[in-house]
Amino acid sequence: MANPSHLKYTEEHEWLDINGDSATVGITAYAAEKLGDVVYVELPKVGSSINAGTVVGEIESTKSVGELYAPASGTVVEVNDAVVASPELVNEDPFGAGWLIKISITDMPALLEADAYTALTGE
């Protein structure tokens, strides 16, 4: 699955769809594939303050447990309850219905463009 060019990426395999001072966040198809079948997703609560680079959630698969890192600092304004109820959405549609959280951004580190992320992963 190609990495959508309109998104920004982190080296920890999260993507951001930035719209003004807010962003939708998820994990990339590469990360979802490496994790395997996702069976459990733990997300931060709405209203939580998050800091870029810190662990804010957990994604558990049949093979391993992965951590969700905050790609930017800010406040969680929405969580995807559908993913909590049906974790397989992360594998089925990582760039769409499998999104994880929406944040109001207060500070954002440098992020990767799609081509740089593709070069990083080789996919």
Q: What is the CA radius of gyration of the chain?
A: 13
Closest by CA to 106, choosing from 24, 21, 25, is: 21
Q: Give percent above pLDDT 70 in the chain.
A: 100
Confirm whether 71 is domain-assigned. Answer: yes
Confirm whether 65 is domain-assigned. Answer: yes
Confirm whether 37 is domain-assigned. Answer: yes
Instruction: Give residue-wise pLDDT tens across range 38-60.
Output: 999 999 999 999 999 999 999 99
Q: How far apart are CA 117 and CA 13, in angstroms?
A: 8
Q: How far apart are CA 53 and CA 36, in angstroms?
A: 23
Confirm whether 79 is domain-assigned. Answer: yes
Residue 11 is given by DSSP the state: T
Residue 95 lies in domain: 8-108
Start-to-end Cα distance in the chain? 8
Lookup result for tokens 């662990």? 55
Confirm whether 115 is domain-assigned. Answer: no
Residue 79 pLDDT grade (very low, low, confident, very high; cuts 50, 70, 90) = very high
Instruction: Give residue-wise pLDDT tens across range 10-32.
Output: 999 999 999 999 999 999 999 99
Number of domains present in the structure of the chain: 1
List the CATH number of the domain containing 73. 2.40.50.100
Report the pLDDT value the prediction gives residue 2, as an integer from 0 to 100.
Answer: 87
Confirm whether 119 is domain-assigned. Answer: no
